[in-house]
């Protein structure tokens, strides 16, 4: 094979294509299952409006990364350059489904909209969120390195692990156990083949083997009534082609993004940090991509997706060295981009997603959550393990708030009553909700705080507390609004105002205490 042809396609690209494609299909399938299956959003809006633009964002990002690989190969004269993998981001897609799109759709319906109109309003909110995150990532791409140095790894990875364990892991685990035979079998094969690296027949990739086992069990046991309550017979398969065109619909959704900025902005920041880490990983594996170019492509792909109706941001995937080990070059990103992008336009992605049940996809997400959580502990020095663990608490509170705020468990009127009750001091439910609101930023701050204390960097610790106090004042973190919205603190009354000043005061008092303690003379070594 000629030198130039080798850079376009090679044998290892087939393995790389399959691995990257499964990752993207799993995220799309879970997004569809969550919005259509759990929140009952009209399927025609999800598949006909949200999917096409999201898929084209993947196409744009993968094409640009393919071009970057060709350029690097031409510049270096090497024929073993591996393109950076890119796809739909798992943590933010699942987080947005459960924390933004589902609740917003429910609120729109509660406000009097019919389901279709509520879905369209949610779609516009999703588009606007992509624009906000895309612009944010574009700006940060020029200062990403500085941010990576400012926030310690324990704070960054702790926040990611918190999202992974509580939202990407625990919530899908409930879906696994709703169809336990199918779910546990699928999860077990993944743990055997991927985590434990057990041998599989014909060297089948672990995730692919798990999908085959899960689908066989689901569609064999389900019709017999043996798959558990999580089994749902697939409805009519709708092949829904749709050509996404640039739209200003995001302008209608921009005002609705304000309460969700404490989620959108940290999600964008996490992708920038992830892009920096992934660029370093690729560099260590021998492919020296410019970090700024990696981040700019990520931002551009997200902006394109938002303008075309997409609701899930793209990101460079962790695992470039693994794709390089497979022997993948630049063809696997080209193939993945074309398959996903054309699938959104031609409509076959909706068919594939409808045939991938939640009980089979959920184990993949549980596995991803375990890997991301483990990485937070492995990739940080052991002395910071307690800082990583400390950053989990706000995410636990957010998980509780999600479940307790579900009208199926507690009626909205009763929920509001419990939020305001002062029979036993500060209302416990209000504390849980406030602690969980803005949990990503809170997790980053708490991890940064404890990491700074461990290192004896007391000024950095005090600064993190002052930042937390300022953010608490306006509801960026610890919002006392059930929706997590921002506010002017002087406009609040009653229990809400009390909670705000208690949180602000807590951070300020601790900052003073640590500042005074830092004035002590260092203890003499013995």
65-74, 251-260, 395-404: range with lowest mean pLDDT: 395-404
CA 393, CA 162: separation in Å to the nearest integer?
8
Question: Exposed, middle or buried, 304 (CB in 10 Å: 0-12/13-18/19+)?
Answer: buried
Q: Could you read off the pLDDT of 358-400 as tens digits, one per residue? A: 788 888 778 877 877 887 888 788 999 999 999 999 989 988 8
Q: How many residues appear in the chain?
A: 526
- Segment 290-305 mean pLDDT: 92
Strand, helix or coil at 359? Answer: helix
Most confidently modeled range among 15-19, 77-81, 335-339: 335-339
Bridge-based pairing state of the strands 314-316 and 86-88: antiparallel
- Segment 231-250 mean pLDDT: 77
Enumerate residues 6+ apart whose C-beta is below 8 A from 274. 160, 315, 316, 318
| C-alpha dihedral sign at 233, 119, 159, 479 | negative
CA 499, CA 449: separation in Å to the nearest integer?
22
Give residue 309's pLDDT: 93
- What six digits make up the tokens of 23? 């990752």
CA 113, CA 392: separation in Å to the nearest integer?
36
Residue pair 90/168 in contact (Cβ under 8 Å)? The answer is yes
- Segment 63-80 mean pLDDT: 91
CA 17, CA 85: separation in Å to the nearest integer?
10
- Mean pLDDT in the chain? 84
Residue pair 454/384 in contact (Cβ under 8 Å)? The answer is yes
86 pairs with which residues across the strands? Answer: 316
Residue pair 301/57 in contact (Cβ under 8 Å)? The answer is yes
Q: Could you read off the pLDDT of 259-272 as tens digits, one per residue? A: 888 778 878 877 88
Most confidently modeled range among 376-380, 415-419, 429-433: 429-433
| C-alpha dihedral sign at 471, 474, 476, 477 | positive
Torsion of CA 351, 357, 360, 362, to 10 degrees: 110
Q: Could you read off the pLDDT of 449-506 as tens digits, one per residue? A: 999 999 999 999 999 999 999 999 988 889 888 777 778 888 888 888 888 999 999 9
Q: Could you read off the pLDDT of 306-320 as tens digits, one per residue? A: 999 999 999 898 667
The DSSP secondary structure of 133-178, one letter per residue, reads HHHHHHHHTTTHHHHHHHS-HHHHHHHHHHHIIIIIIIHHHHHHHH
- What six digits make up the tokens of 12? 């290892």
87 pairs with which residues across the strands? Answer: 315
Distances from the Cα of 252 to the Cαs of 43, 124, 249, 257, 514, in angstroms?
Answer: 21, 6, 6, 10, 46
CA 335, CA 183: separation in Å to the nearest integer?
30
Phi, psi (rounded to 5 degrees) for 97: -60, -45
Q: Could you read off the pLDDT of 168-202 as tens digits, one per residue? A: 788 888 888 888 999 999 999 988 987 888 888 88
Give residue 7's pLDDT: 54
Closest CA to 84 of 260, 280, 333, 261: 333
41-45, 103-107, 144-148: range with lowest mean pLDDT: 144-148
Q: What is the CA radius of gyration of the chain?
A: 23
Percent of the chain with pLDDT over 70: 92
Give residue 184's pLDDT: 93
Question: Euclidean distance between the first and final Cα of the chain, in Å?
Answer: 68
Strand, helix or coil at 94? Answer: helix
Distances from the Cα of 425 to the Cαs of 5, 422, 430, in angstroms?
Answer: 72, 5, 11
316 pairs with which residues across the strands? Answer: 86
């Amino acid at each position: 094979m000629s030198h130039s042809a080798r850079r376009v396609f090679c044998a290892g690209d087939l393995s790389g294509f399959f691995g990257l494609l499964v990752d993207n299909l799993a995220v799309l399938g879970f997004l569809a299952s969550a919005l259509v299956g759990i929140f009952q959003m009209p399927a025609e809006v999800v598949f006909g409006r949200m999917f096409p633009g999201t898929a084209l964002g993947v196409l744009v990002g993968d094409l640009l990364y393919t071009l970057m690989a060709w350029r690097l190969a031409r510049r270096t004269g090497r024929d073993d350059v591996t393109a950076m993998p890119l796809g739909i981001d798992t943590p933010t897609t699942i987080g947005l489904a459960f924390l933004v799109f589902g609740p917003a759709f429910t609120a729109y319906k509660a406000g009097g909209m019919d389901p279709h109109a509520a879905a369209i309003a949610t779609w516009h909110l999703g588009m606007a969120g992509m624009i906000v995150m895309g612009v944010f990532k574009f700006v940060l791409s020029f200062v990403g390195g500085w941010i990576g140095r400012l926030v310690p790894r324990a704070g960054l990875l702790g926040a990611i692990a918190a999202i992974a364990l509580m939202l990407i892991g625990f919530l899908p685990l409930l879906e696994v156990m709703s169809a336990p035979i199918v779910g546990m079998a699928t999860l077990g094969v993944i743990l055997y083949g991927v985590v434990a690296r057990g041998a599989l027949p014909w060297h089948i990739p672990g995730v692919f083997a798990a999908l085959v086992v899960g689908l066989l069990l689901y569609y064999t046991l389900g019709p017999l009534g043996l798959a558990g309550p999580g089994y749902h017979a697939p409805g009519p398969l709708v092949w829904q082609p749709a050509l996404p065109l640039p739209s200003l619909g995001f302008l209608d959704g921009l005002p609705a993004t304000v309460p969700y900025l404490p989620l959108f902005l940290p999600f964008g920041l996490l992708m920038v940090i992830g892009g920096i880490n992934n660029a370093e990983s690729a560099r260590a594996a021998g492919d020296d991509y410019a970090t700024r170019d990696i981040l700019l492509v990520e931002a551009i792909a997200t902006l394109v997706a938002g303008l075309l109706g997409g609701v899930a941001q793209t990101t460079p995937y962790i695992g470039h060295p693994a794709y390089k080990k497979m022997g993948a070059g630049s063809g696997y990103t080209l193939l993945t981009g074309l398959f996903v992008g054309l699938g959104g336009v031609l409509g076959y992605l909706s068919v594939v997603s409808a045939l991938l049940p939640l009980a089979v996809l959920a184990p993949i997400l549980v596995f991803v959550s375990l890997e991301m959580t483990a990485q937070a502990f492995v990739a940080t020095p052991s002395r910071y393990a307690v800082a990583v663990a400390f950053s989990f608490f706000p995410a636990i509170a957010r998980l509780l708030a999600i479940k307790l705020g579900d009208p199926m468990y507690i009626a909205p009127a009763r929920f509001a009553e419990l939020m305001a009750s002062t029979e036993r001091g500060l209302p416990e439910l209000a504390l849980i909700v406030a602690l969980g609101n803005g949990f990503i930023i809170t997790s980053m701050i708490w991890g940064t705080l404890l990491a700074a204390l461990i290192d004896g960097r007391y000024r950095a610790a005090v600064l993190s507390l002052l930042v937390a106090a300022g953010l608490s004042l306006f509801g960026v973190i610890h919002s006392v609004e059930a929706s997590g919205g921002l506010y002017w603190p002087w406009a609040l009354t009653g229990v809400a105002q009390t909670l705000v000043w208690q949180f602000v005061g807590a951070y300020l008092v601790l900052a003073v205490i640590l500042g005074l303690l830092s004035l002590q003379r260092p203890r003499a070594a013995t």
